[in-house]
Structure 1
Amino acid sequence: MPVIPVALLTALPRGVLVIFYVLLALMLAFITFEIQLGWSLFRYATRRAQEQDFTPPADIPPETLEWYKKAAVAKERLLLGPHREWEMIHDGLHLRGIFFPARESDGEPAPGRGCAVVIHGWRDVRLSRALDVQLYLDLGYCVFLPSLRGHKPSDGKRIDIGCKHAGDILAWLEEIRRRLGDRKPGYFVLDGLSMGAANVLTLSGDPGLAPDVVAVIADCGYTSLLAQGKWMVRGMKPLIRRPALFFASVFFYLFMGYSSKDLTPLTGVARAKVPVMIIHGTDDLFVPASMARELFDGCRSPVKELWYVEGAKHALSHAVAKEDYKARKMAFIERALEGFQSGS
C-alpha cells in the first residue's frame, strides 16, 4: 500500500480529508471483519470434538430418528461384547481406538481373516458408526475403530479436516499387525465416512499403503478441504467469501502447517492402485454429490465403483439403502479380493 506524504494530506481540502479518513476506516474495518470471519471458519472446522452422545435435532425425519436409535442400541451391544481399548503414541500424540475380534473367535483374533478399519466422520463421537461395525462383525471380520486426532478420547488440539495426518491410519495398521503378531489379519479394508472417507481416499494413492490393504470404501467424502470450504460458504457474496477463505487458509497454514502441496482425496485417487468404491447420497447437501463423480473420474485404480444412493442425505446412505448397502459393499470387497488372491 503506497504511503501518502503528510504534507500532501494537509494540503488537501477538509472535505477531501474527511472522505479519505472515512474510506481508510472502512477499509480497516472490512479487513478486520474478514480476518475475524476467516478465524471463525477455521475454528468451526477444526475445534476439538468432545466425546458425548449425539442428540438428534427436533425436526429430524422419523425414519432418520429410527436409524439413530438403532445405532444407539448397536453401540450398547458392541460395548457389552468382546472388545479391547487400544492406545499408541504417534507423532507425539496419544491416539486411541477400539478393537473388536471376529465373533466366531471367542474373543481372540482369528488369523488370516479380514480386518475392517472403520473410520468416523467430522466431529463424530466414538462408536457413531456402530451399525457399520456390526455389519462387518456379522460377516466374520474383526474390526478396528480409531478415534482420529482432535476427537476424544484421542489427543490433538484440532481436527485434521484437511487429512494432512491421514498417515495416522497407516500407523494404526502397523500397530494392529504388531499387536496381533501371528494372528494378524490376512488383509485390511479401509472404510471411511465423510471426513473419514476423505482420509481413506487420500491414503489410496499413498506409497506407504501396504499390499494387504485390499479395498478402500468411501461414503460421502469430499475432494479437498478447499473445495469443501468453498461449498460451505457458497451462500456468501464473493466480496465477503473470497477474503474470508484466504484468511482461513492463512490460519490453516500458521496453526496446522497446511499448504497447497499437501495430498488431497482428489490427488490421492489420481495415484490409487488399490480398488476404490465411492458411495454418495443424491440428496447430500453437506458434501455435494458432484464431488463423488469428480473423485470417480479422477481415480486411476483399475478396479473402481461409483454408487449413488437415491434420496440419501449426508452420511445416511446406509440408512436409506439398508440391506443393499451391505450387499453392494461385500460384492465390491469380493471383487477386490479376487485380484488380491491372484496377486494381480
Structure 2
Amino acid sequence: MRKSVLKTLLFTIVILLLVLAGGSFYMLDYALGAQRLPYSTYYSQLYEQEPGIEEWVDSLKRTGTLRDTFVVLSDGERSHALYARNSAAKGKTAILVHGYKDAAVKMLPYAKLYHDVGMNFVLPDLHGHGLSDGDDIQMGWKDRIAIEEWMRIATKAFTHPGDTTRLYLHGISMGAATVMNVAGDNPAHLVAAVEDSGYTSAWDEFEKELRGRFSLPAFPLLYVTSWLCEAKYGWNFREASPLEQMAKARCPMLFIHGDADDFVPTEMVYPLYEAKQGEKELWVTKGSEHVRSLHDHPSAYRKKVMDFLRKHE
C-alpha cells in the first residue's frame, strides 16, 4: 500500500515538473521570441496609424535625407538603423527607441519632433527586431548596451569641428525601458531623456501579463522562466530593472504615461519618477492608452517635449 502511494506521489511530482518545465519554455518563447514582419509592412502600419506623417517621410526619402545603415557592434552582431542628418544640428542628435515586437520605422513621428527643431536623428532596430540580428527580445536590458554603442557611433558620425556633442534619448514602451536603462549608466554626452510608457522591470511587466492574460500567479512559472532566461540569454527578469537604473541616472528625465494604459499600467510611472533624483518632469495624459499620448494630444505632446528640451540644450 505504502509503495503504491509513493509511486503515485512520485509520478504526480514528475508530471508536475514536466508541466512546469514545458510551461516555462513556452512562456520564454512566447514572451521573448522574435516576431518579424516585412519592413514594408511596418511602413504600411505606420501610415495607417498616423496618416499625417506619410508626406513628411516621403519628402525625406525623396531628398535622400532619410537613410538606413548597418553596423557591426562589438559583440559581432549586425544592427540596423534609420537616420537623418540636419544641417542645423551642430552636434545635437536624438536617438529614438521603438517598442516591443516593433521596429524603428514606428519612431518616425517622434523623430519629426526632433528634426523640426534642428537635430539629427538615429532610429535603431533593437536586437531581434526589424532588420537587426537576433532571434530573441531583450526587454531593454541588454539592448541598453547596443544603444550606448549607437550613441558612440552617432558622436563620431555627426559631430564636426567646432560642434559640441549633445545626445538626447526618447523611447516608447520597451524602448522607454531601454532609455531608462541607458540613462542609469550615465553615458558620455547624454544631455536629457524622455521615456513614454516604460515599465518598472521586466519581472513586473511579465507578472502583470501572467495574471491578466492567464490568471496565473508569479510562482512558480515566472521564477523558472526567469531562470531559463538567464541560463539561455545571460540575464534575468529582475535585473532588467529601469526602476533601479533610475536611482542612478543623473541626466534630466521627462516621464510620460497615459492614464488609460492597461498594458504597462499607469501606476508604474510613479515609482519610476520617485526613484529619479535631480531634474525631472512627469506628464500623465488624460484618456490615453498605451503609447497613444502623441496620437491623442499631438500639440500638447510636442510642446511638452520641446519645452523640456529647451531647458536642457
Identify whether the pair has TM-score above 0.5, normalized to the shorter chain: yes
Q: Which residue pairs with 1:89 in the alignment?
A: 72
Deviation of 1:26 after TM superposition, in Å, equals: 2.6
Paired residues of 2:95 and 2:123 also in contact (CA < 8 A)? yes
Output the CA distance in 2 between the equivalents of 1:49 and 1:74.
28
Q: Which residue pairs with 2:172 in the alignment?
A: 193
Output the CA distance in 2 between the equivalents of 1:150 and 1:72.
26
Paired residues of 1:166 and 1:200 also in contact (CA < 8 A)? yes
Q: Which residue pairs with 1:61 in the alignment?
A: none
Q: Secondary structure at the match of 2:110?
A: helix
Output the CA distance in 2 between the equivalents of 1:254 and 1:120.
26
Paired residues of 1:74 and 1:130 also in contact (CA < 8 A)? no
Q: Which residue pairs with 2:242 in the alignment?
A: 265
Is residue 320 from structure 1 mapped to residue 302 from structure 2 by the alignment?
A: no
Q: Which residue pairs with 2:253 in the alignment?
A: 276
Larger deviation, residues 221-230 vs 85-94: 85-94
- Amino acid in structure 2 at the alignment position of 1:130: L
Q: Which residue pairs with 1:143 in the alignment?
A: 121
Output the CA distance in 1 between the equivalents of 2:20 and 2:61.
46
Q: Which runs of 5+ in 1 are unaligned?
A: 1-12, 58-63, 338-344
Paired residues of 2:203 and 2:237 also in contact (CA < 8 A)? no
Cα distance change on mapping 1:248 and 1:260 into 2, 3 Å: closer
Greater C-alpha radius of gyration: 1
Output the CA distance in 2 between the equivalents of 1:259 and 1:292.
22
Cα distance change on mapping 1:65 and 1:136 into 2, 3 Å: closer
Deviation of 1:260 after TM superposition, in Å, equals: 7.3
Q: Which residue pairs with 1:222 in the alignment?
A: 199
Q: Which residue pairs with 2:20 in the alignment?
A: 34
Is residue 155 from structure 1 mapped to residue 155 from structure 2 by the alignment?
A: no
Residues 10-48 of structure 1 deviation map (CA, whole Å, 9 limit, x = unaligned): xxx2xx544443333332222212212211221122212
Q: Percent identity?
A: 26
Cα distance change on mapping 1:31 and 1:241 into 2, 3 Å: farther
Output the CA distance in 2 between the equivalents of 1:124 and 1:99.
17
Cα distance change on mapping 1:73 and 1:50 into 2, 3 Å: farther
Cα distance change on mapping 1:257 and 1:190 into 2, 3 Å: same
Pairing 1:1-344 to 2, within 5 Å after superposition: 13=1, 16-52=2-38, 53-54=41-42, 67-71=49-53, 75-81=57-63, 82-90=65-73, 91-102=75-86, 105=87, 110=88, 112-182=90-160, 186-207=165-186, 209-210=187-188, 212-235=189-212, 236=214, 241-259=218-236, 262=239, 264-300=241-277, 302-337=278-313
Q: How many pairs does the alignment contain?
A: 307
- Amino acid in structure 2 at the alignment position of 1:171: E
Output the CA distance in 1 between the equivalents of 2:311 and 2:160.
26
Output the CA distance in 2 between the equivalents of 1:304 and 1:129.
23
Paired residues of 1:177 and 1:185 also in contact (CA < 8 A)? no
Paired residues of 1:101 and 1:143 also in contact (CA < 8 A)? yes
Larger deviation, residues 280-289 vs 124-133: 124-133
| TM-score where L is the length of structure 2 | 0.89
Q: Which runs of 5+ in 2 are unaligned?
A: none
